[in-house]
Amino acid sequence: MNNTAILACQQLTKIFHQGPAEIKVLNGVNFTVNAGERVAIIGNSGSGKTTLLQLLGGLDVSSSGQIQVMGQVLSTMNEQQRGVLRNQHLGFIYQFHHLLPEFTALENVAMPLLIRATVSVQQAQFRAEAVLKQVGLAARRHHKPAELSGGERQRVAVARALVTQPVCILADEPTGNLDGKTADEIYQCMLELSLTQGTALVIVTHDPKIAQRVERVYRMDNGVLTLHS
Ligand SMILES: Nc1ncnc2c1ncn2[C@@H]1O[C@H](COP(=O)(O)OP(=O)(O)OP(=O)(O)O)[C@@H](O)[C@H]1O
Ligand SMILES: [Mg+2]
């Protein structure tokens, strides 16, 4: 691990407007992730964790403050430019797998590479097969999401996030929907792949066990992020 910041934000705020009401969800968040680092964010429901990940990934825009992804300042970019930056450098894993139901595991995993269009269809398939093997799902590659278990679907989602070799994965309660044993297996898989590929991980989780297995744990309280351990 080196100390190059791949993702950072300073004094980040987010205010949602609902009619005349203002909901202040992030209240001056400072956060840095260095290359290869694994970080967990814990905190009560509604404290602002998902909102922070959405902003860091350029899926939504802040009300004030700055975000840099690989040194590039998000606030200077339009939606399309943010999309390109996200596709180049970041991967997402959500609580629900968000796989495309009509496509096989292999096709779902190959999709981000095909969207990038920097490799051939054949190369994308080859790479997708390799990553599916890494998450232990080679034998299920031709199954559609409905033909997979919940844990298997989430492994496919992990493979899809990793297939582009992102510098950082943003995972929002990736095992929130799974039993404890399956959740452990998915985390093990994510942590191993993060180590072998040097991918940084930002994991929002309620799981106290994962918090013991990462370098740093932050806590979000009413839009304020502090170092927990
Ligand atoms: N688009 C929106 N418009 C208005 N309020 C919003 C919007 N999105 C989120 N909020 C509010 O922002 C607050 C933080 O939401 P967020 O989803 O970030 O919480 P969270 O920490 O991820 O919670 P959980 O652990 O339940 O997933 C909540 O009070 C929510 O109601
Ligand atoms: Mg959330």
What DSSP string describes 160-177?
Answer: HHHTT--SEEEEESTTTT
Q: Whose CA is nearest to atom 29 of ligand 1?
A: 46
CA of residue 36 relative to chain centroid, distance: 14
Q: How far is CA 114 from CA 14, 87, 123, 127, in A?
A: 33, 11, 10, 11
Please state, in angstroms and rounded to a whole number, the distance separating the CA atoms of residues 186 and 32. Answer: 25
> From ligand 1's centre to the CA of 54, what distance in Å?
11
Query: Is the CB–ligand 1 distance for residue 18 below 6 Å?
Result: yes
Q: Which residue has the tokens 């825009």?
A: 61
Instruction: Report residue 38's pLDDT band, with 50, 70 and 90 as the boundaries.
Output: very high
* Annotated domain spans of the chain: 5-227
**Are 56 and 26 spatial neighbours (Cβ–Cβ below 8 Å)?**
no
Please state, in angstroms and rounded to a whole number, the distance separating the CA atoms of residues 61 and 103. Answer: 31
Q: How many CB atoms lie within 10 A of CB 178?
A: 18
Q: What is the mean pLDDT of residues 144-152?
A: 95
Q: Collapse the DSSP code of 221 into the 3-class scheme (helix H, G, I; strand E, B; otherwise coil) and give the result.
A: strand
Q: How many CB atoms lie within 10 A of CB 49?
A: 24
Residues bordering ligand 2, an ion, CB closer than 5 Å? 50
Please state, in angstroms and rounded to a whole number, the distance separating the CA atoms of residues 27 and 13. Answer: 5
Query: Quick one: fold of 5-227?
Result: Rossmann fold (3.40.50)
pLDDT in tens, 63-110: 999 999 999 999 999 999 999 999 899 999 988 878 999 999 999 999
Q: Which residue has the tokens 């106290």?
A: 208
Query: Is the CB–ligand 1 distance for residue 16 below 6 Å?
Result: yes
Order the strands of the 72-73 sheet from edge to edge.
21-34, 5-18, 64-69, 72-73
What's at 224, amino acid-wise? V
Instruction: Tell whether the model's pLDDT for residue 33 goes beyond 80.
Output: yes
Q: Whose CA is nearest to atom 16 of ligand 1?
A: 48
Write out the two tokens for 73. 């300042």
Choose one of 15, 47, 221 to mutate for the ligand 1 pocket test, by most ligand atoms within 8 angstroms of C-beta.
Answer: 47
Instruction: Report residue 1's pLDDT band, with 50, 70 and 90 as the boundaries.
Output: very low
- Count CA atoms within 13 Å of residue 74 on its CB side: 30
Please state, in angstroms and rounded to a whole number, the distance separating the CA atoms of residues 90 and 56. Answer: 10
> From ligand 2's centre to the CA of 204, what distance in Å?
8
Q: Between residues 123 and 211, which one has the greater pLDDT? A: 123
**Are 95 and 204 spatial neighbours (Cβ–Cβ below 8 Å)?**
no
Q: What is the pLDDT of the chain when averaged over all its residues?
A: 93
pTM for this prediction: 0.94
Instruction: Tell whether the model's pLDDT for residue 229 goes beyond 60.
Output: yes
**Are 106 and 163 spatial neighbours (Cβ–Cβ below 8 Å)?**
no
> From ligand 1's centre to the CA of 128, what distance in Å?
33
Q: Nearest ligand to the C-alpha of residue 206?
A: 1
The pair phi, psi for residue 4, each rounded to 5°, is: -85, 120
Instruction: Tell whether the model's pLDDT for residue 150 goes beyond 80.
Output: yes
In 51-137 the beta strands, taken as DSSP E runs, fall at: 64-69, 72-73, 90-93
In 19-161 the beta strands, taken as DSSP E runs, fall at: 21-34, 38-43, 64-69, 72-73, 90-93
